[in-house]
Amino acid sequence: MKSLHRPDLYTWSSFDTDRNVDFNSVAWIRPEGNILIDPLPLSNHDRDRLTSLGGAAWIVITNSDHIRATKDIAQLTGAKIAAPTAEKETFPIPCQRWLSDGEELVPGLKVIELHGSKTPGELALILEETTLITGDLVRAHRAGSLMILPDAKLKNRAEAVASLHRLASLGGIETVLVGDGWSVFRDGTQQLKELAAAL
């Protein structure tokens, strides 16, 4: 697990040869119980590191295409699972909580519900007002340049663009941690605005 821009945030990744990008997972380490987001399989090193950091209390899945290693890690750690309310009727694994727009899973972790992406109600997460964590819709296949899913993958492009404009309007976002590709560690709001203006 690699340290991120804050001492309480870590990531681990897996390289996808088809898309030529890393898939990323995030761990938020907190005294009240750690939270994992879209967790990939853990190497032995990463499993030991996570255990040393206190395991996991919650796993958040941003969309049903990002279940990844959730079942195995939940079994390992005893973590509860949270996922999008909009996918509740069809979600392929059991969850203990369903998240909707404006909710906080825990204090400081706010849910933004996105529309028009591959799956209904995809989640983005705002960590303490400054760090945006995305699943599929917002990504970066090239360093320093955010993008959205290709049109062919979107259920509704107009809704997807509107969701992006909403993210760009939040203000105060310094960092964008993407599920797929290169994360952005400076001027997050500005980069979101530049992407929105280009669509």
At 10 the pLDDT is 98
Which residues does the chain have with pLDDT short of 50? Answer: none
Q: What is the pLDDT of residues 62-78, one digit of tens each?
A: 999 999 999 999 999 99
At 178 the pLDDT is 98
Q: Indicate the burial class of 103 (C-beta count within 10 angstroms; 0-12, 13-18, 19 or more).
A: middle
For the chain, domain boundaries: 2-198
At 19 the pLDDT is 86
Q: Distance between alpha carbon 193 and the CA centroid of its chain, in Å?
A: 19
At 87 the pLDDT is 98
Kindly report the pTM of this predicted structure: 0.97
Backbone phi and psi for residue 112, each to the nearest 5 degrees, phi listed first: -115, 125
Q: What is the pLDDT of residues 101-130, one digit of tens each?
A: 999 999 999 999 999 999 999 999 999 999
DSSP string, 134-190: -SSSEEEEETTEEEE--GGG-S-HHHHHHHHHHHHTS----EEE-SBB--B-S-HHH
Q: List beta partners, residue 189.
A: none
Superfamily covering domain 2-198? Ribonuclease Z/Hydroxyacylglutathione hydrolase-like (3.60.15.10)
